[in-house]
Structure 1
Amino acid sequence: MFSLFWVALLSATLLPGGSEIWLARQWCLDQPALALWGVATVGNTLGSLVNVALGRYARRFQDRRWFPASGKQLARAERWYHRAGEASLLLSWLPVIGDPLTVMAGVLRLPWWRALAWILVAKGARYALILSLAQSWLGPYC
């Protein structure tokens, strides 16, 4: 389960990776589903909080020429984020858009505890669904 924690954590950062297969593999090895759910959820949530921290840190460089977003782009992202709201972090589990959402939460200085709450709900629901699917689809094959 230690490996599941690290796979889940790293796959939630800007690094490429996926923890779903590793979770299903661990479940097939007769690890307790509730423990797997908790480890994967905590690891993936912490990985997303790394992205939030990176966004918070990156904001101080917004006036630099090499900063990846112009002032206009940043203002547009802020308007979108304020319109969509912090509840958009419920999509933080999605590939491709999930990581930028968590980075944007950091750039826009969303309070830590609110980012944690939204991300934890999203990641927990995702892993519950994955375990449910693994039990129904993979059960006879494990």
Structure 2
Amino acid sequence: MTTLWLMFSAAFLAATLLPGGSEVLLAALLNDDASIWVSLVVVATIGNTLGSITSYYLGSLGRFAKSPEDMATGKYQRSLRLIQRYGSWSLLLAWAPVIGDLLCLLAGWMKLPLIRSTIMIFIGKGIRYLLVAAAAMHWL
């Protein structure tokens, strides 16, 4: 049970404060006990998704600080265009380094539907953790 809480915490923090780390922990935990791979993948996916929803929420609060004109010019342009073009579907890339956190933040800023956004984030992150688990257990 401690292992699952450790995985959850690392995955949550990786999506909010600390870049990376949760994939390495998942691989290490699977190296110790591969029999709990399903539980580890599910817990990591849930933790990382909730961390991204925190970014979504912060983005919705940021709407008060940044106007649409401010967002349309500057470092957010590429991610903003991606979300404008694909909407919630772009959140399937929420797992991606650098751009993933920004996509979640902008999704909240743009007030994309929370439930659909959460589902897309969950699917993208779930696939990533499944691939990490498969690689760690030498299935790939």
What amino acid is aligned across from residue 42 of structure 2 in structure 1?
G
CA contact (8 A) 2:60 2:111 kept: yes
The alpha-carbon deviation at position 85 of structure 1 amounts to: 2.5
Give the unaligned 5+ runs of structure 2.
Answer: none
Query: What is residue 11 of structure 1 aligned with on the other side?
Result: 14
**After superposition, what is the alpha-carbon deviation per residue over 1:22-41, rounded to whole angstroms, capped at 9, x for unaligned?**
00111111150100011100
Q: Could you say which residue in structure 2 is the equivalent of 1:46?
A: 50
Matching residue of 1:140: none
Which segment drifts farther, 52-61 or 69-78?
69-78
Percentage of pairs with the same residue? 42
Q: Alpha carbon RMSD of aligned pairs, Å?
A: 2.3
- Note the C-alpha offset of 1:118: 0.4
Secondary structure of 2:105's aligned partner: helix
Q: TM-score, normalised by structure 1?
A: 0.84
**Secondary structure, aligned partner of 2:38:** helix
Determine the structure 2 residue equivalent to 1:66: none
Task: Please give the alpha-carbon distance, in whole angstroms, between the structure 1 residues aligned to 2:90 and 2:136.
Answer: 27
**Unaligned regions of 5+ residues in structure 1, if any?**
64-68, 138-142
Alignment partners' CA distance in 1, 2:66 and 2:116: 24
In the TM superposition, what is the alpha-carbon distance from 1:81 to its structure 2 partner?
A: 2.1
Code of the residue aligned with 2:51 in structure 1: it is G
Supply the distance in 2 between the matched residues of 1:120 and 1:40 (Cα, whole angstroms).
Answer: 10
* Aligned mates of 1:71, 1:136 — CA distance in 2: 43
Distance in 2 (CA, whole Å) between partners of 1:72 and 1:90 is 22
Other structure's SS at 2:138 match: helix
1:80 Cα shift? 4.4
Alignment of 1:27 onto 2:30: yes
Distance 2:104 2:47 in 1: 15
SS state of the match for residue 117, structure 2? helix
Which runs of at least 4 in structure 1 moved beyond 3 Å after TM superposition? 74-80
Larger C-alpha radius of gyration, 1 or 2? 1
The answer on 1:108 being equivalent to 2:126 is: no
Q: What residue is the counterpart of 2:70 in the other structure? A: 70
Instruction: Give the TM-score normalised by the residue count of structure 2.
Output: 0.85
| Match 1:61 to one of 61, 65, 72 | 65
